[in-house]
A = this chain, B = another copy of it.
Amino acid sequence: MSMNQLIERIAALQNPTVAGLDPKLDYVPEYLRKEAFASTDDPLEGAARALLAFNKGLIDQLWDIVPAVKPQAAYYEMYGWQGMRTLHETISYAHEKGMYVIIDGKRNDIGSTMEAYATAHLGKTLVEGRPVPAFNGDCLTVNGYLGSDGIAPLLKICNEEDKGIFVLVKTSNPSSGELQDRKIGEKTIYETMAEMCEKWGGMAPGSYGYTAVGAVVGATYPEQLRELRAKAPSTFFLVPGYGAQGGGAADVAGAFDRNGLGAVINSSRGIMCAYQKAGCDAHEYALAARKEALRMKDDIMSEVKEIRLP
């Protein structure tokens, strides 16, 4: 699916949010863990099965109201190759349900190695002359520290396979300013990176005023969000930091354009762990996630009002 299709899904559902699937084993209800570990003696295999069951339950309750999921690669790698199989199966399942999938991997490297990452997460691997998708995401988060060499192979796949990327610009963490806020002449590093996104986006055009090259800008820095919305008008934003990290609807309002487009707001723990907070039966974890996803949608739409395709 292309970034255009993400935008269309956002408009159709009137919901500019994405559910982060960062499934630590601690988040998985005991009954699912018990079932999974009863089926195998291998601890990582058991963990991988538990996470897949957890994710499928969440997707079943989210696909008709939330346009996209964002699995965070770290939480799958943590459970070894078995965890990576769960990442693959989660992506397939989300696609079956029509959801857009952003792999949050923050990958970065140069030339042929970046090409390998692009192939792994967005493209098709050539195996004895046969193209096979490896993880098959629709979009990948990437780190631009290495410059254009690291982005060029991604632009190629964005164009050829109709995929997208989000480049880290201003991250949501407290220490993001240590490097990102430092000034190169008149401009901060994050502004410089946003300008690079606009430039790269010119090489991977899209529709509705946005390119296939987006940017990650944290909800925890509302001023910078507003500033960057103005300075990078054709760059779609992925906004982490809503909810658990402290950002609210008013904080993310500046990320949207006058059509209510321009950003997708992520919540991970807030949705995955809603059942713990609500103190409800663990068997109802997915229903609790649905309720929280609807609450978050209403919260953000109270600022955005309406999403229109131009």
Contact = CB atoms under 8 A, between A and B. Distances in A.
Given A81-B85, A113-B74, A193-B179, A149 B128 contact: no
Contacts of A184: 182-184, 189
A46 interface: yes
A77 B37 CA distance: 26
A77 B146 contact: no
A146 B128 contact: no
A39 to B, nearest CB: 13
Interface residues of A, number: 71
A135 B80 contact: yes
A145 B148 contact: no
Contact of A74 (B84, B120, B149, B185): B120
B128 A173 contact: no
Nearest to A116: B74
A230 interface: no
A147 B175 contact: yes
A267 interface: no
Given A47-B125, A110-B172, A173-B111, A145 B179 contact: yes
Interface in A43-91: 43-44, 46-47, 72, 74-75, 77-85, 87-88
A5 interface: no
A28 B66 CA distance: 44
A179 B171 contact: no
A183 B185 CA distance: 7
Nearest to A182: B184
Contacts of A72: 109, 113, 116
Contacts of A83: 134
Interface of A: 22, 24-25, 33, 37, 43-44, 46-47, 72, 74-75, 77-85, 87-88, 106-111, 113-114, 116-117, 119-121, 125-128, 130, 132, 134-135, 143-150, 168, 171-180, 182-185, 189, 192-193, 196
Given A74-B109, A78-B125, A178-B196, 20 more contacts: A25-B127, A25-B128, A43-B127, A47-B125, A74-B116, A74-B117, A74-B120, A75-B113, A79-B125, A79-B134, A81-B84, A81-B85, A81-B87, A83-B134, A106-B108, A106-B143, A143-B143, A146-B176, A147-B173, A179-B193
29 contacts: A22-B116, A24-B116, A43-B128, A43-B132, A46-B128, A72-B109, A72-B113, A72-B116, A74-B120, A78-B117, A78-B119, A78-B120, A78-B134, A79-B134, A81-B82, A81-B87, A108-B108, A110-B173, A110-B176, A145-B168, A145-B171, A146-B173, A147-B173, A147-B179, A149-B174, A150-B175, A179-B189, A182-B192, A189-B189
